[in-house]
Structure formats: C-alpha cells, structure tokens
Structure 1
Amino acid sequence: MKPLTFSPLPAGTAGDVSLVRIGSAALRDDPRDCPVAIALKARPRLTATGGRPRLSEPLQGFPLGPLMDALDLIEHQYKPLAHVLERLRHTSGTFGRAGVPPAHPGLVEWTVAAIRNYLAKRESDQKHREAVGAARTYPVPEQWVVLRELRSPDQRGATHYEQTAWGRRYVSLDGTVRELRLLSFSTAKHDRPAAEKAAAAYNAAFGTPCDPAYGRHHRPKPDLPAARLARPERVRVIDVGCGDGSSFVLLDWDLEEVRARYAEHALPVLSRAADGAAPVPGASCVECKAFAACDRPHRTPGMLGLPRPGTPRPRRTVSVSDLRMYAECPAKYHLSRQLKLRSKRPENPAIQRGRAVDAWLNEQHLRRPPNGCRSMPDPPDPCGWSVGDHTVSGDIAEIGARMISQHASLCPLDGLGPREQVRVQPQLSCYDPELDVVVVSTPDLVYTSVGGWIWREVKTATSPLREGRTLMRTYPQLALAVLMIASGVLGGDLRRSRVELELLYPDDCGLEELDPGLPTVVDEARQVISELAAPWQQDVSYDPFPGTRRCADCEVLEWCGPGQNHLAAASS
C-alpha cells in the first residue's frame, strides 16, 4: 500500500507537517486501526478543514485522565491521599480544571479504587526491590521525549521528529535506572506488541526530559538534578493493572539490548505509522483529521433512522452490541463499552461458550478448506479445550464441542467456488451524517456467491427461538446487516445477496435467511435499529437502570452505587 503524500497536504487538512510526533501506543499495529488517521495524528500541527466545529462530550471520555491527575497531585505535589480522594469526588474528577468534562459517578468510584491499587502495588514493588538489593525509584513529572532535528525537510516534509511514551515515569536516585509504568484498566498485561515494548524502552532509555507540549515542539527542560538528566544504564517497563493492583515487568534491559530491539521491532513500524497507507474505516474515523474529505466509510444518510439532533454531539461510533447493552443499562454501556472498564468477575458461561465456539470456527474458516468444515476436527478433549485466547472446561467445553460438530453440515464454505471471496470477521462500517455517527459491525463471516454478498451470523443457544418474536428483534445484528447490505456497504448484486442466521444447539442446528432486497424486510430492520438508537443518541448522563437480574452479574457493579443499593434492598 502506498504511503500518504504530504505535499500537497492530504485533502481536508491544513497546516504544517514539519513536526512528526509518534507515541509508542501507535505501534500496536492493530489491523482495525486506520493508517491514514494514525499518520495524520502524528502531525500535531495539521488540522481538519471543512468539518464540523470541535465539540466536547458531556462526560469524561478518557478513563485514565482522572487517575493520572490524582497521581500527579500525590506523587509530584505531595498532596495527602485523603485530600486527593475528597477532591476527586467533590469535583467529579475535574480537580477544578476549566474545560475538563466531569467524570461519570461510576468512573469516579473506579478511579478511587484504582488510585489505591496503584499506590499499594507501587509500594509493594519498591519493597521487593529493596529486599533484593536494587535501588528504589522516585517519580518524575517531566516527559521523556526522543528528539531528532533535521537540517532540511525530508521526503515527508518533516524537520522535527519526536517519539513519546505515555505512562508514569520514575528514576533511581543516582540516575542509573529509569522505569516507565504503563497502565491497564483491569489486570496487568503480561505482554504487549514487540514494537510497542521496544519503542517504550527506547523512549525511557534515550528520551530527553521535557515539559508537555501541545501543537508545538518539545523543548528540553533545563535546571534539573543530574540524576534526572543522566542517561540510564538500565530501563524497566512495567504493566500495572489498575483494576486489581497487579503488575508485570514487561522488560528489564540494558542500553545495548534496547538499541537492538528497537532497530528490529520498532523502527519498521514507526516508519509505517509516519507514512500511512490505504484507509481502514472504523473507530479511527472519529478523530481523523481528513474524515470530511475521505471517501471511506460508506456514506449512508439515515442509517439509524433518526433525525439530526438539535444539539450536535462529537462524532461517535456505535455497534448493535453497544445499543443492546445501552438498552440493558446506560451506565453499564458507558463504563464497559465506552470507557472499557470491567471487573474481575468471570463472564457468563453462555458468553464464554459462544466466544470459544466462534473462535474455533473462525480459525477453521481462515484456512478455507475445499469442503468447508465437513472435515474439521472436533476438539480433541470435549471436556477441556482451547483456541486462541479462549480456554473452556467442564460443561461449557462439552456443550461447545457438540455445537461445533453441528456446524459442519451448515458450513457455507462447503462447495464454494475458488474465485469467490471469503472474509472472516471483517470490520465493516458506514457513516450516518445526520447524526455524525460511524456505525461499526463485525460479522462472523461474509462471502460472495454468484455476484451477491452473503452475511452469515452464527449464534449458539441451548433453547429454541422464542415464538412470536421476529428474527431481527431477537438478533438486532441481523437488522443492521440488512441495512448495510441494502445500502451498498458490501457492494455486489442486491438481488443475489442475503443475510443468514446459523443457530447451533447441542444436538441440532438450523439456518434462517433474510432478503435485504425486500422493502418490508428493510422497513422492519430500520424500525428495529431506530428504536434501539433513539434513546442512546439523546443521552448525556448515562444513569444506571437498576434491576435485580441486571445488577446481579453486572461487570461494573462494584463501581455503581445505585446497583449495589438496589441489590441490598432486594435481599433485605
């Protein structure tokens, strides 16, 4: 894929491309991220033109923002913990800063727990270092930035390159050790992409202390103690789980190893991040500077079936899974789907089983055997098996293995021509300009057949479909599939296209079809989606919707006072 051209500037943008700034998080190389959006974000002096004015969400959208502000007060300004927690709650996480939106009450409570978890684990790690004879480390407020200045513009038009790494920074008293702590929402990650780790290590090893800079060059911070300016002998990058107070040392390298890993893993990905490539529509569209002039994603006015709101909101993404969770409880949707906060509670067994079955079938479909899954091997041990990140055992595994066996007779790849296209769990998206919303969907499988596109959703169940309720109301993903195909998101011949629902039971299976070319089917699909989306698109507070069954196994219950109170009242 060809890199972006920055002379002339990409359509829909204006400004200066001489400064290129890339954070280590941009090196995760996630195929769902848009290379164009990443490359444009790396130009902080480049701005969007011709779009809507910049708007702010009514609630804090960066879940780690209040936590970082609180830790700054404690570690850099030496404020007592009790004082910071009181300020956090009193100001709803803004700490009195103008222009900062308040945090949802659930985020405030999560932050209170995260502060305690982080500080306790940090002190525990410090004591362990002392016990083994290693030097303690101390917090530093300045950022570490790798700076490179060119005498003349290069092929990208850049004269200044900056590399950053977001996290919390610490140094030993003698400056020989630098430590960068990366924050995870729940439990500590035991691994991150090799390029991200190498870039973070390089930033810690060779970064120059600087004050924060927004839209301008970072400048070295003068008059610092020698230890904070010294080049370290070793660097440590540690992942910290803010949800449970766990931590894991991702790397502990000397400078020679940092250089080697950086050259091998980070530099190629950094170059790709700076250059960009073909656009990948999806969640990246929300903040992309070139979105107004981009021909992706597919424009579908009225996709959600709602009029333009009186008060405009910032661009958002939404999926049917989001809308279903919102209908269940707005607070749960905001905390778990928007802010990505989840407790340590295990998932519902049916959800675990469904994810494992999906992962097993996806792995088989990616291989695309000539006769589909008819020759697919069953899990070797039905009572305990793994696929990818999913491990199941007991009844969950046994029932899931039986469902996998049922799929063989319904696999759509059996007999499919070699020239037909097959896409396993692709990210599909379209844009509703009326609401300024990017609608995202990840079907289990889409494939072509004699000129049309077929959208296959696979669902696992232990009981039959409920009578008196239509397919699209039972599974709104099918309604969105109908609308996307009917609006041309996939292309192809609409007359030969269809939406399929594959139902897998322990001892049976079934296949249902919907025709996106029928006006009555499209009308019902639009009604299903608009009914789900209407309350979501108007909400600005995401208040909880307590209910005994909803709250009992809610993944954000521990930060939801109304939910806890409801359960306490119900049990008294």
Structure 2
Amino acid sequence: MLQSLNAYAALDAIGEHSRVGDQARWPALVGPKDLLKVSASHVDQLARGCGMHGALKVRPQLKSAVWAQRYDNDQPFLLGLIRDLCFTFHGEPRAEEWEGLNDLLNKSLSRFALQPGLQKYIRTAVENYLECHDVIQQDLGPLRLKTCDPVVSVGPNNLLTVWAPVYESDSGTREVRRLRLGSARRSGAEIDPWTVVAAHVASLVRPVGDLRRIRVIEVGMGDGSVEVTFDGTPQEAVANYQSLAVPRILKIISADTYTPGYSCKDCKIAGCCDSIEKLDGFLGQSNPGAGTRSVSARDIETYETCPAQWHLSRSALLPRADTNGPASVRGISVHRLLAEAHSSSSRCTTEDLHDSLGRDANMSEGERFEVEPYLANHTVSCPVEDAVQVIGSEISIYGYDAQADVIVVTKPDMVYLDQNANLVIREIKTTKREIPVDEADAFDQFLAVAWLINLFGSGYRGPLRSEKARLELEVISPTESRVFAWDLGDQGLLRMARKEVLMRARGWHNDTTWEATPGKHCGWCPVQKWCPDAMAGEDSSP
C-alpha cells in the first residue's frame, strides 16, 4: 500500500494541483480547488475529449458561480435503482422463483413513476444480475457484499473511488463488479483503465490482512453476460495502477484545454462556457424544461416518430438493436466517404470516389453498388474548387440556449468559405424519392434546413465570424444531384425557420412521460425489445 501512496503522491509533482492551467480562461468558480476525487470512470473516460470538463469533474466541490446544471428528479438513476433492487433481493427466498421475484418487483417498482419501457428493462436486468450472482457463487463459493462505492484516501485531499459493489468470500477473494446496461465487453489484450483503478481501490479497502485475490468483472444487465477483466493479486493491482492509471490521472487533473463535444451535456460549466456558441432562444421556448438537456435535429425527428423511442434509446441509453435499414446504411456510407474526400480540400472526382469506395473494407459488394451512383452524382455539385476554403467536413457545433436550458447540437456536412469569402453551410441528403421541386418544398421536407437556418439566426457566424452567409442543401438521388440555397441575411427567412423549430421542438421540450406512439415504425425501432407497446404497431395503419 505504501508503494501506491507514493505513486499517487506524484500528483503533487505538477505543483499546486489546485491551479490548473491558465485560470484566466476559467469561468467564475466557487468552492475549494484542492480536493481531488478521482473515480474509475473518470480515469476511463476523461483522458480524452474536453480537458476542462475532466479537470472540473474530478474537483467535486468546485462549481460555477453563475450557472448550475439542473436535473429532472423524476427520472431515477437507472443502474443505481437496479442495483439497489438486486441488493434487496440477495438471499430473499421468494426471489429464487420467478413468481416470487415478479411479485417483489411489482411491489418495489410501484413506488416509482417509470416509463413502461424502463420498467420492462429493469425487470430483465434484475433477473439477469441475480442469475449471474448465483452462477458466480458456484465458482467462488458464498459471497457477501463487502461494501458499495468504496472511497479510499491516497494522499492529502486525494480520494480514489469506484462506483461498484465489492463482494468478498471467506477464502480471501474480493470481486468488483462493473454493471453495463447492455452486454459485458470482451477483454482485450490490454487491461482497461476502469479495471485498473477498480482493482486498486479493492486492494485498499480494509481490512486487507487475508486478501489474496482480486477479481474485476463486467456484468451485462441487458443479456446476463459476464466477462472477467482482471484476476490477480493485490500486488499486481498496485503495479498496474502505478504504470497505467497514474499517467492518465495526471493528464486529467492538469488539463486546461476546451474541446466542445459529447461531454458538454454533462458539464458543470456548459451554460457559461465561452468555448460553445451562445444560442439563446434557439428552440424558441419561453421556459426551461424539466432539466438541462441536449438536443439535435435528429433527436426532434426521432421524438416525432415516437417519444418512447427517443427516451429509451437517446436518454436512458437502453441496449439497442442494429435496425438500420438500407436507406440509413446508404446515407451513413455516403456521408462518411464524402467527409473523407472533402477533408482533403480537393474537388471530388468520380475516379477518386470510386477508389475510396473500393478501399472501404466495411462495405459489401452490394452496398458499394448501391452507393456508387450517389457518389458519382455528387461530383456534379461538389463545391470544392481552388477559390474555396474548406473550414470543416462533418464538424460538430455545440451551443447553449439559456432560455430553454438546452445544449444545442448541430453537425452540418460541410462548412466553407466561397470565392467571395461568404460563409456557406452545406447539408447533404440522399434519397430514392423525388427530389424537392424548389426551396420551399425542400424546407418543408427536411427539418435540417430550418435547424441550420436558425443556427445562423441565433448567432452562429463560424470560426471567422462571417456576416454574409448562405445555407445549401444538396439532395442526391441515384440519377441526379440538386443544390438548393437560402440567403441567411433574409430576416423573413430567419423568422420562418425560428417558428418551425419552435413548433417542432415544443413537444420534446415539455415532455416528461415519453408515451409510445405505435405504428409501422415499430418494426425498425432499435428499442422495441423493451417497449410493451411495440406489438401494437404491427397492426397499425401506415
């Protein structure tokens, strides 16, 4: 253990770790900066992405002085609820039979206002966990719950923790269990950072006198799968921690870079961060919703198809089936190949795109045959030429709408400056249907049009802060490609786009029940397994 303490003391080698980077770039913060509480999940996830998000995340008492993320308290922490139920049923004789367990779950779940799909998933997850627990005990012998979410001190103001149950046997074995919503991941050639920290924390939980063996496993709550990710001695756990975890921890706590991305929706300074766009009023909603949320145009379209589908797949993140149809696969492939081509800032040619298609090992011959006409037709409309400056291809734009308390996510297919230095935002759509007849028809068919027009109308000006801009929509079919354009200086157009986004986002913004709307779309819903209403869609009219 002394070796471990010395290794963690290396944190002090960066100087006063309460002073991270250039604090002049920080927003107004309150609370002590010197307390570090690093979890296994932090070490696993925060060494990549936004550095400032990670640096603040491991300082639990440091908060923004002007903004705080809001949480919908009616929505439970799903894995936490499942875990509590499993602990309650450990050793309960009635839980050993399906009927008894079902009665216990009925009584327990009646205390919560849960979306029906969540209830169905929770029942499956509890059954899977209890069954896995029984199987593990057949191998290790009887296990008792030693502790949950242990926190160990590894130096002055330095805490290390893992969100996980820790079990123990009389033979000196401790087992840490990582719970996953879907399936347990197969162990790779290298031990993963979460496992490294979890094993080390388990080695420090007192008493350690009879501790001989540490196991770290993953349990897939969605399917009952189990994978062992570490099985060794406490000494091996310490050695792994020193060599694999400490460098990542040092990187996380000393970071000072801002990189807007997926972490914005969970960041404690998202609402006052200068690195994301200020898009107040983007959604046109007069009040905040139930909690701070994140939304994209695709989210709104998914919600309009079925609120339950959005909630179960995009918010609760339940295990999803791969139900992408041919149109979705085609669109994804075309966008990926064009993004790669545009990143070179060279005009697309039929020959170059054909060669890229041939090198794509992820596509079958049939898929290549399907995609090639779309790529060929794009070459007629490709905007890249000598006088054009490509700013980015498939770039993500993150903004904050303070009025709605929502992180707005937008990912145009291309952003560039034309030969007159005008900002151009281009969206690309593929279709087998009739191409829109004009701009008005295109506006009505694709929410992305109003969304991107509203992006400019809400204040986005691109990295060069351009005041002259237009939106282009390129629609590609197997036989042709056509480009539609809108002048983003047209105030009437901006008002029309804002009204469209306001109307389309209103239901999503105010919803808290996420009721299913069964229909033919149930057939390709990625979370239909969990939805009790999915079968109703089979007999619905188109």
Distance 2:356 2:262 in 1: 38
Distance 2:159 2:236 in 1: 21
Q: Aligned residue for 1:70?
A: 85
Amino acid in the other structure paired with 1:400: V
> Is 2:147 aligned against 1:141?
yes
Question: Shift in Å at residue 334 of structure 1?
Answer: 0.8
Q: Is the 8 A contact 2:432 2:478 kept in 1?
A: yes
Q: Aligned residue for 1:200?
A: 195
Q: Aligned residue for 2:415?
A: 446
Question: Shift in Å at residue 320 of structure 1?
Answer: 0.9
Question: Shift in Å at residue 533 of structure 1?
Answer: 0.8
Q: Is the 8 A contact 2:55 2:252 kept in 1?
A: yes
CA distance 1:91–1:484, shift in 2 (3 Å) = same
Q: Aligned residue for 1:185?
A: 181
Normalising by structure 1, we get a TM-score of 0.78
Q: Which moved more, 1:331-340 or 1:22-31?
A: 22-31
Q: Which residue of 26, 50, 57 maps to 1:34?
A: 50
Question: Shift in Å at residue 531 of structure 1?
Answer: 1.2
Q: Is the 8 A contact 1:37 1:288 kept in 2?
A: yes
Distance 1:515 1:364 in 2: 26
Question: Shift in Å at residue 269 of structure 1?
Answer: 2.5
> Is 2:38 aligned against 1:22?
yes
Q: Is the 8 A contact 1:241 1:247 kept in 2?
A: yes
Question: Shift in Å at residue 539 of structure 1?
Answer: 1.3
Amino acid in the other structure paired with 2:159: E
Q: Which residue of 354, 369, 372 maps to 1:378?
A: 354
Q: Which residue of 221, 225, 236 maps to 1:242?
A: 221
Distance 2:352 2:397 in 1: 27
Q: Which moved more, 1:101-110 or 1:434-443?
A: 101-110
Q: Aligned residue for 1:167?
A: 164
Amino acid in the other structure paired with 1:376: D
Distance 2:384 2:143 in 1: 57
Q: Is the 8 A contact 1:146 1:207 kept in 2?
A: no
Q: Aligned residue for 1:215?
A: none
Amino acid in the other structure paired with 2:252: A
Question: Shift in Å at residue 342 of structure 1?
Answer: 3.7
Question: Shift in Å at residue 432 of structure 1?
Answer: 1.5
Q: Is the 8 A contact 1:74 1:80 kept in 2?
A: yes
Normalising by structure 2, we get a TM-score of 0.82
CA distance 1:264–1:540, shift in 2 (3 Å) = same
Write out aligned runs for 1:5-154 (5 A): 11-29=27-45, 33-51=49-67, 55-57=70-72, 59-60=74-75, 62-75=77-90, 80=95, 85-92=102-109, 102-124=113-135, 130=139, 139-150=145-156
Question: Shift in Å at residue 535 of structure 1?
Answer: 1.4
Aligned length: 520
Q: Is the 8 A contact 2:311 2:514 kept in 1?
A: yes
Q: Which moved more, 1:433-442 or 1:478-487?
A: 478-487
Amino acid in the other structure paired with 1:551: C
Q: Is the 8 A contact 2:215 2:232 kept in 1?
A: yes
CA distance 1:29–1:110, shift in 2 (3 Å) = closer
Question: Shift in Å at residue 20 of structure 1?
Answer: 0.6
Q: Aligned residue for 1:155?
A: none
Q: Is the 8 A contact 2:27 2:64 kept in 1?
A: no
Distance 2:137 2:379 in 1: 55
Question: Shift in Å at residue 326 of structure 1?
Answer: 1.0
> Is 2:479 aligned against 1:484?
no
Write out aligned runs for 1:489-528 (5 A): 489=460, 490-492=462-464, 494=466, 496-528=468-500
Question: Higher helix fraction: Structure 1 or Structure 2?
Answer: 2
Q: Is the 8 A contact 1:501 1:513 kept in 2?
A: yes
Distance 1:439 1:560 in 2: 28
Identity %: 24
CA distance 1:541–1:90, shift in 2 (3 Å) = farther
Distance 1:12 1:170 in 2: 42
Distance 1:30 1:465 in 2: 44
Write out aligned runs for 1:540-555 (5 A): 540-547=512-519, 549-555=520-526
Q: Is the 8 A contact 2:396 2:409 kept in 1?
A: yes
Write out aligned runs for 1:334-373 (5 A): 334-366=311-343, 368=344, 370-372=346-348
Distance 1:524 1:87 in 2: 53
Distance 1:283 1:108 in 2: 27
Distance 1:362 1:538 in 2: 35
Q: Aligned residue for 1:463?
A: 433
Distance 1:337 1:562 in 2: 18
Question: Shift in Å at residue 5 of structure 1?
Answer: 5.3
Distance 2:401 2:196 in 1: 41
Q: Which moved more, 1:317-326 or 1:243-252?
A: 243-252
SS at match of 1:27: helix
Q: Is the 8 A contact 2:43 2:193 kept in 1?
A: no
Q: Is the 8 A contact 2:280 2:458 kept in 1?
A: no
Distance 2:94 2:349 in 1: 62
Q: Is the 8 A contact 2:150 2:163 kept in 1?
A: no
Consecutive unaligned residues in structure 1, runs of 5 or more? 151-159, 211-219
Question: Shift in Å at residue 230 of structure 1?
Answer: 4.5
Q: Give the aligned CA root-mean-square deviation in angstroms.
A: 3.7
CA distance 1:362–1:85, shift in 2 (3 Å) = farther
> Is 2:400 aligned against 1:431?
yes
Question: Shift in Å at residue 570 of structure 1?
Answer: 8.0
Question: Shift in Å at residue 494 of structure 1?
Answer: 4.5
Q: Aligned residue for 1:332?
A: 309
Distance 2:187 2:178 in 1: 11
Question: Shift in Å at residue 171 of structure 1?
Answer: 4.2
Q: Is the 8 A contact 2:145 2:168 kept in 1?
A: yes
Distance 1:32 1:321 in 2: 25
Distance 2:256 2:170 in 1: 44
Cα shift readout 1:208-237 (whole Å, capped 9, x = no counterpart): 566xxxxxxxxx6xxx6x6xx65544544x
Q: Is the 8 A contact 1:61 1:339 kept in 2?
A: no
Cα shift readout 1:447-490 (whole Å, capped 9, x = no counterpart): 33453332222222222235586323322122221222333322
Question: Shift in Å at residue 542 of structure 1?
Answer: 1.1
Consecutive unaligned residues in structure 2, runs of 5 or more? 1-16
Question: Shift in Å at residue 70 of structure 1?
Answer: 1.7
